[in-house]
Amino acid sequence: MNTLVTQPKSQKKIDLQRFLEPYLYLSPALIIIALVIITPTLVGISYAFQSIELLNPFNGGWIGLTHFKTLFSDRYFFSALANTLDWTLISLFFQFSLGLGLALLLNRKFAGRKLVQALVFLPWAVPTFLSGLTWAWLFNPIIGILPHWMTSLGMLPEPYNILSDPHLAMYGPIVANVWFGIPFFAITLLAALQSVPSDLYEAAGIDGASSWQVFVKITLPFLAPMIAITVMLRTIWIANFADLIIVMTSGGPANSTQTLPSYIFTTAYRRLDFGYASAMAVMLLILLLLYTAILLKMRSKLSNGD
Amino acid sequence: MSIIVFTNFLKSVAHRFAILLYLVFALFPLYWLLKIAVTPDKLLYSEGVKLWPSEFTWVNFELVFTQSEFPTFFMNSAIVSSATALLTTLIAAAAGYAFCRFKFRGKLIITGLLLVTQMFPLVMVLAPIYKIMAPLGLTNSLLGLVIIYTAFNVPFAVFLMQSFFDGIPRDLEESAMVEGCSRFQALYKVIIPLTLPGMAATLGFVFTAAWSEMLFALMLISDSSVSTFPVGLLNFVSKFAVQWGQMMAAGVLALIPACIFFVFIQRYLVQGLTAGAVKG
Amino acid sequence: MRKILFCSLLSLSIASTLALADTKLKLVEVITSPDRTAVLRQQVADFEANNPGITVEITSLPWGQAFEKLATMVQSGQTPDVVEMPDSWQGLYASNDMLVDLEGRIAASGLEEKLTDKTLAMARNTGGKANMIPYGFYLRAMFWNKKIFAQAGMTEAPKTMAEFVEASKKIKALGTGVSGYCLRGGVGGTNGWMMFMAAMRGSPEFFDEQGNSLLSDPESIKGAQFLVDLYKNGHAPRDSVNWGFNEIVSGFYSGKCAMLDQDPDALISIAKSMNSEDFAVAPMPLGPSGKAYPTIGYTGWSIFKQSENKDSSWKLISHLTSPEENLTWAKKIGVLPIHKGAEKNAFFSTEQYSGWFEELNNPNYIPLTMPTHLKGWGYFGSVMAKDSSQEALLGMISTEKMVEDWAAYLTKEQQAWMKTQ
């Protein structure tokens, strides 16, 4: 063995190590995701092209795009799609703006801050089933106080249950969802806020910048990556989130709160038509992919523009 | 000068008032939960809209402790949630670091893949997962739940950890490496301490997500000795009656560990970074 | 040598206990509640004590998710031996040929003589062969709030549908915001629609001989319109369009509405929250034909075909449905028992139960059996009927449109079923 030979070899080894290192860090995540999520998802997607009805187990088999053709003439599908849009955008808007507000409020020293932090984050820890039931109680005029308060405030003509009114019912699960989701944005944004170097603020303070200027010029840019990722993920989650709706209104009255995921749930586990349910799930997947692609494109354009 | 003092005073009053509003919004439904738990059954409907019942009782809490299997359920939930939180945070920290500090082939595809895992409705993957887990003996076990929860929480946790790593200036570890640390040492000695708040946040998220998860826990577990507490809650809802008092009592009790957990991770959340550490 | 002998004896004894303990039955309870699970566990423990070598593992599914959970278990091959089978699922599992035919065992055990005719008819509801042993019946009757009726100047429950509307008008005229009828517009409301439609039609039949649904004939439409008008005229609470079981019962307790159609099992929870002198139970109101058709429901025990322990499973079912056990069960969970002569038991001859027994004994009340033999009945009841009846109540579609959709779906289902017979 002479050094001339080993030298490039070990150099190669180092190169290989360099090349492999990121994959090494990634491998546990990738393996578990591939086994537990990707494989079942592929199986789930394959249902969309098959006839899988538990009610008619003998009609199985591949049927191509039949489900997708049915889908385009299904009026419930389109109303569910519109409802999903309302549900997602309204929930997201309030969760985000109220969550950011809370993070800013908490990013300041005051007596009892620890206690307040622990308490305002509690809604996130309540199982959605329980929070759905609790909010349904609160909206029920027999056993809940909200309709009475809303009537006193002039928001309702008489104390009735907004969950029974097709024009208002969607706001019930939305309020519950906002309540549940504020802590998410508050925690992530607060953690990000606390990694803003304080000398930046000090410098701004010396320059005599107004607090709005500080917010726009320093805080926001620092938060931007976190905002981008949390808003994107949260949109996907909310769009896919059916628990509160199923518990509080089960899509009613008259389908007025039926979103795509709740319709998918009903189709799969009430009609036992897994094929059609999967076709709708695939449509939802495609729409969400489009949304993320657009968002990522915008993000990279923005960061290129900087 | 006094004007400044006065506006500062006004500002802090407004600040406290805003905090108070948030507190009321966050806690009122939970207060209602507690109210139902301490209301005797016969007053549940007749005094439904009162802010506090005319009589109150601890009997529901007693029943939950003595008559139900809730102590077991809480134990199971605690085991599953802590194991999931630890495992997920470790896996995600490693992956998030790779995402942040390396350029490598397939990065975009892997990012896309992580995102896609969040887009397909869970109800549609339930049956295939059940089929995979059943022959492995993971359908009636806490380990099975830990594996599934970890898998579904990892993607978000990776993004979260990545953005925390992103917030740490690159030259910090580079200078450490110049000073003779290996990359791993630099990670361990310099970066990890700085991402503790981020890790705490991740831990908190995953813990609560696992703590309150119901769909998989319901579908995969049928033996009550390995049930988690959200599924236990469902047993109070029968076809012909709902045992509201006991259910809400169990719900209130379930909030206590979550509350303790939040207080525990406070330190790290609030700690943040000192200006000096970041200057590098 | 001794050692070897000892060891072989030991292993033999282990093997034999293993062989004895070999039979492990899986039983799935689906209409779970803590009280009821306790009774079931007690009865199963007695069974295990009398049958050494058989152990029973009880899985109690929460009712709200039981359907999808059992479907998932069956779909992935984790099929239980014995399952609690509600009438609304019987058609699905029976027509997929998943349930054991129990006729031979019924004949061999002489059950035919002991069970009431109605029980046997229900057991054979899907396709003529018994595939479950019902453990009890639910029958609809009208709970009415005596206090509210007294305020409105009435002392008796309405006997006919016309009186029903009159009573509702008087209650509304009180001006206290109380309505007459606790309408169930949400999940589980199908029974109400079917009862009023049958009462107007004057027939308990759902189909003609060709399998065409009778729900869209003009008389049936009047029955549906009756409920829609009731709601539109304010004789049911505005919120009731989305009410499920919990809401109608709490509406009744709290005096938000004065009349409620429910099964005997609701008696248990209502009696807990109301004074017994404040309410009573009357038969369902009679239609123009002089007859009423309260819906009858049932739940029982079935054995899955995939079970490897069919004989032991049958033993267990026989134990659970034996006269003494069944009587205990029926009292505890609020169903009407299945054995001949059981209604003579003191418990059921109280005034509380008189409304139901009048329905059973008076020829003007004909129990209405839902077409649960149809595979799609569960879906029809829990999704289709709920969605479109809410649309009709809210005036988004006409009653005719709703009823025609129902008839079309049920005709298709019935004709598909007839083909397999």
pLDDT at position A6, please? 45
Q: Would you call the peptide bond into A253 cis, given omega within 30 degrees of 0 as the criterion? A: yes
SS (H, E, C) chain C: CHHHHHHHHHHHHHHHHHHHCCEEEEEEECCCCHHHHHHHHHHHHHHHHHCCCEEEEEEECCHHHHHHHHHHHHHCCCCCCEEEEEHHHHHHHHHCCCECCCHHHHHHHCHHHHECHHHHHHHCCCCCCCCCEEEEEEECEEEEEHHHHHHCCCCCCCCEHHHHHHHHHHHHHCCCCCEEECCCCCCCCHHHHHHHHHHHHCCCCCECCCCCECCCCHHHHHHHHHHHHHHHCCCCCHHHHHCCHHHHHHHHHCCCEEEEEECHHHHHHHHHHCCHHHEEEECCCECCCCCECCEEEEEEEEEECCCCCHHHHHHHHHHHCCHHHHHHHHHHHCCECCECCHHHCHHHHCHHHHHHHHHHHCCCECCEECCCCCCCHHHHHHHHHHHHHHHHHCCCCCHHHHHHHHHHHHHHHHHHHHHHC
Q: Are residues B48 and B163 in the same domain?
A: no
pLDDT at position B279, please? 30
Q: Are residues B12 and B87 in the same domain?
A: no
Does B62 reside within a domain? no
Q: Minimum mean pLDDT among A109-123, B266-280, C44-58, C169-183: which range?
A: B266-280
Interface check for A188 against chain C (CB to CB < 8 A): the answer is: no
Mutate one of C76, C79, C84, C256 to test the B interface: name it (highest B CB count within 10 A).
C76
Does B63 reside within a domain? no
CB-CB neighbors (< 8 A) of B114 in chain A: 33
Q: Which of B134, B219, B224 sits opposite C69 (nearest CB)?
A: B219
> B100: nearest CA in chain A?
A22
Nearest to B87 by CA among B164, B167, B159, B145: B145
- Please state which CATH class domain A70-305 belongs to: mainly alpha
Interface check for A140 against chain C (CB to CB < 8 A): the answer is: yes
Distance from CA of A265 to the nearest CA of C (A): 10
Q: With 90 as the cut, is the pLDDT of residue B234 above it? A: no
Q: With 60 as the cut, is the pLDDT of residue A214 above it? A: yes
pLDDT digits (tens, 9 = 90+) for C311-338: 999 999 999 999 999 999 998 888 888 8
CB-CB neighbors (< 8 A) of A253 in chain C: 185-186, 241-242, 390, 393-394
Does B149 reside within a domain? yes
The residue with greater pLDDT, A164 or C344, is A164
Q: Do B239 and C31 touch (CB under 8 A)?
A: yes
Helix (H, G, I), strand (E, B) or coil at A205: helix
Q: Are residues B15 and B84 in the same domain?
A: no
Q: With 70 as the cut, is the pLDDT of residue B268 above it? A: no
DSSP code, position A158: S
pLDDT at position A1, please? 41
Q: Do B98 and A22 touch (CB under 8 A)?
A: yes
Distance from CA of A34 to the nearest CA of C (A): 21
Q: Are residues B262 and B151 in the same domain?
A: yes
Distance CA C421, CA C419 (A): 6
Burial class (CB in 10 A: 0-12, 13-18, 19+), C5: exposed
**How many structural domains is chain B composed of?**
2
pLDDT digits (tens, 9 = 90+) for B150-202: 999 999 999 888 888 887 777 877 787 777 777 777 777 778 888 887 888 88
Q: How many residues does chain C have?
A: 421
Q: Are residues B96 and B154 in the same domain?
A: yes
Distance from CA of B116 to the nearest CA of C (A): 25
Q: Minimum mean pLDDT among A166-175, B26-35, C55-64, C332-341: which range?
A: C332-341
CB-CB neighbors (< 8 A) of B237 in chain C: 62-64
Among B16, B36, B57, the domain-final residue is B57
Distance from CA of C48 to the nearest CA of A (A): 35
* Residue range of the domain that includes B74: 69-279
Beta-strand relationship, C141-145 and C82-86: unpaired
* Buried-exposed string B173-191: b where 16+ CB fall within 10 A, e elsewhere: beebeeeebebeebbeebb
Q: Which of C241, C247, C387 sits opposite A255 (nearest CB)?
A: C387
CB-CB neighbors (< 8 A) of B29 in chain A: 123, 131, 134-135, 138, 179
CB-CB neighbors (< 8 A) of C67 in chain A: 269-270
> B209: nearest CA in chain A?
A125
Burial class (CB in 10 A: 0-12, 13-18, 19+), C209: exposed
pLDDT confidence band for B272 (50 / 70 / 90): very low
Residues of chain C with pLDDT under 50: 12-19
Does B172 reside within a domain? yes
Does B64 reside within a domain? no
CB-CB neighbors (< 8 A) of C394 in chain A: 166, 253-254
Q: Are residues B24 and B109 in the same domain?
A: no
pLDDT at position C15, please? 47
CB-CB neighbors (< 8 A) of A110 in chain B: 12, 15-16, 19
Distance CA A215, CA A104 (A): 10
> A76: nearest CA in chain C?
C387
Q: Are residues B94 and B233 in the same domain?
A: yes
Mean pLDDT of chain B: 84
Q: Are residues B244 and B135 in the same domain?
A: yes
Q: Which of C62, C73, C75 sits opposite B237 (nearest CB)?
A: C62
Q: With 60 as the cut, is the pLDDT of residue A4 above it? A: no
Interface check for C381 against chain A (CB to CB < 8 A): the answer is: no
Mutate one of C67, C231, C387, C391 to test the A interface: name it (highest A CB count within 10 A).
C387
Q: Do A33 and B148 touch (CB under 8 A)?
A: no
Maximum mean pLDDT: which of A49-53, B82-86, C61-65: B82-86
Q: Do A126 and B230 touch (CB under 8 A)?
A: no
The residue with greater pLDDT, C380 or A121, is C380
Q: With 70 as the cut, is the pLDDT of residue A207 above it? A: yes
Does B6 reside within a domain? yes
CB-CB neighbors (< 8 A) of C77 in chain B: 134
- In chain A, where the domains are located: 70-305
Which chains form contacts with chain B, at 3 or more CB pairs under 8 Å? A, C
CA–CA–CA angle B28, B234, A259 (5° rounding)? 75
Q: Which of C59, C77, C250 sits opposite B222 (nearest CB)?
A: C59
pLDDT confidence band for B276 (50 / 70 / 90): very low
Domains defined for chain C, CATH in brackets: 20-138+297-352 (3.40.190.10), 141-293+374-420 (3.40.190.10)
Q: Are residues B82 and B137 in the same domain?
A: yes
pLDDT at position B174, please? 78
A-facing residues of C in 61-120 (CB < 8 A) are 67-68, 71, 75, 92, 96
